[in-house]
Amino acid sequence: MENQEPRRRPNVVIVPGPFQGHISPMLDLGTVLHSKGFGVIFAHTVFNAPDPSNHPDFIFLPLPDNLADHQILPGDIIALVTILNKNCEEPLKKGLSEIMNRLETENQVVCIIYDMLMYFCESVAKDLKLCCMIFRPSSASAGLAYLSLSRLQAEGYIPPKGSALDDLVPGLPLLRFKDIPTADMGTLQDAIELTVNICNTRTSSAIICNTVHHLEPEEIVQFQHIYPLQYFPIGPLHILAPTSSSSLLEPDTDCLTWLDNQAPRSVIYVSIGSLAILQKEELAEMAWGLASSNQPFLWVVRSDAVPESEWADLIPEGFLETVGERGCIVKWAPQKDVLEHNAVGGFWSHCGWNSTLESISAGVPMICWPCFSDQKVNSRYLSHVWKVGLELDHKLERGVIKESIRRLMVDNEGEKIRVRANDLKQKMKISVSEGGLSYASLNNLVDFILSF
């Protein structure tokens, strides 16, 4: 038998941010790069660790983060990220050096791809003499909004005065001041400091973005103008890696059976993602709005949806009896499968970027109720640029909720939105197929990594 040369499989290191919406697209990225012939070392914080058994081909490197030594208030994302950047640098350097010592020369590590929140990785890459690239799990439009914070502060526009909240932001004409991702994440100064760190590319050689060219062509050009680095818009990654399993929580798959028994496009799916929290009164308004809409609904109420409350106490008295079989409530859904289900006709969402891409890819029109961070930017694009969503630009109130659901699910207005959503779905498919822009960008990324 002929002696076959062993196939070279260079390794890439992937370091996600420690949240569901950051881990999922990076697991997808790993799956895609693995299918293109790379080995994948997935280095993650112990906090919110993914399940290695879902990705038996990856090497997992847990990074001790010592979070237990710090007092972090619930929802203080800036404090959490700042501490992780301090605590994870040494563990990554040590763990990676050990792995690199074990790897054959031809399979050596070629680069570190790190989530924009995990900027400590750049100095590890420098120490280990590796190339590095930044992964952005959000849109280019949101990136531009964050990049504007320092300028808007210097020009005296932010923090915005109460009366200016509805005014359009100079330089970001689609956004109102209330859409700018600022102090919801802590103090304005903290948000700006974090943004400066996230936006500083240091010695990184490229930016990979989970976005799609046709969704935001001008914003992508503007972004590239600001960052004269290689730029790879390769989204939506969940379509490129359809079998990748990335959920940190166990999804309740019984809801798919419930969906099987509903009429086509009749169900409104409701979820505010993995991080957003509600007041108990807001949750009650959601409940009674859903009840009075008369539409079947699948509602995700996470066990931590309302801090310091027992889940069983969250659902208002009499609600379950009122809605009966018309409603299905779960603590965590298999969202991508739900959105692809024929019975789902609308998504009331907080407009996280992954949810946005998943809904658009499934052709499901949305009710946009953004909570914080980039969600308000995404909501503006969904409702005003792509026109596949209705903006719920109000305090949660049952009457407004009922009306929004009826407009999307029943009225003629909703039918027109559905046609546009279907059109966008087709464009997403084209983008990731041979000849499409994301497809080409992914191949360029592979060539770029192989050139190291």
Comparing CB distances to ligand UDP, the nearer of 132 and 255 is 255
Per DSSP, the residues of 169-201 read ETTEEEEEGGGS--GGGS-HHHHHHHHHHHH--
Q: Map the footprint of ligand UDP across residues 356-385, applying CB under 6 A.
A: 358
Q: Which residue has the tokens 């399993």?
A: 245
355 near ligand UDP (CB under 6 A): yes
Q: Which is nearer to ligand UDP, 111 or 364 (CB)?
A: 364
Question: Could you tell me how many residues of this chain bind ligand UDP (CB under 6 A)?
Answer: 21
Report the site for ligand UDP in 229-258 (rule: CB under 6 A).
247, 251
- Count of H helices and E strands in the chain? 19, 15
Tokens standing for residue 229: 């680095």
Tell me the β-bridge partners of 13: 41, 112
Tokens of 327: 């409603």
Give yes or no for residue 18 binding ligand UDP (CB under 6 A): no
Site for ligand UDP in 31-50 (CB under 6 A): none
Question: Residue by residue, what is the 3-state secondary structure of 3-25?
Answer: CCCCCCCCEEEEECCCCHHHHHH
Q: Identify whether the C-beta of residue 372 lies closer than 8 Å to the C-beta of residue 276.
A: yes
Q: How far apart are CA 381 and CA 212, in angstroms?
A: 13
**Do 325 and 244 meet the contact criterion of CB atoms below 8 Å apart?**
no
What is the closest distance, in whole angstroms, from the C-beta atom of residue 19 to ligand UDP in the complex? 6
Q: Is 347 in the site for ligand UDP (CB under 6 A)?
A: no
Any contact of residue 348 with ligand UDP (CB under 6 A)? no
Cα gap 28→241, rounded to integer Å:
5
The pattern of x and - marking residues 194 through 233 that bind ligand UDP according to CB under 6 A reads ----------------------------------------
Distance of closest approach, residue 76 Cβ to ligand UDP, in angstroms? 15
Determine the straight-line distance between the first and last CA of the chain, rounded to whole angstroms. 34
> Binder to ligand UDP among 83, 305, 333, 424 (CB under 6 A)?
333
State the Cα–Cα distance between residues 57 and 141, nearest whole angstrom: 34
Among 120, 177, 223, 353, binds ligand UDP (CB under 6 A): 353
Q: Considering only residues 294-313, where is the footprint of ligand UDP by CB under 6 A?
A: 300
**Residue among 16, 21, 95, 181 that touches ligand UDP (CB under 6 A):** 21
Residues in contact with ligand UDP by the rule CB under 6 A:
19-21, 24, 247, 251, 271, 273-276, 300, 332-333, 335-336, 352-355, 358
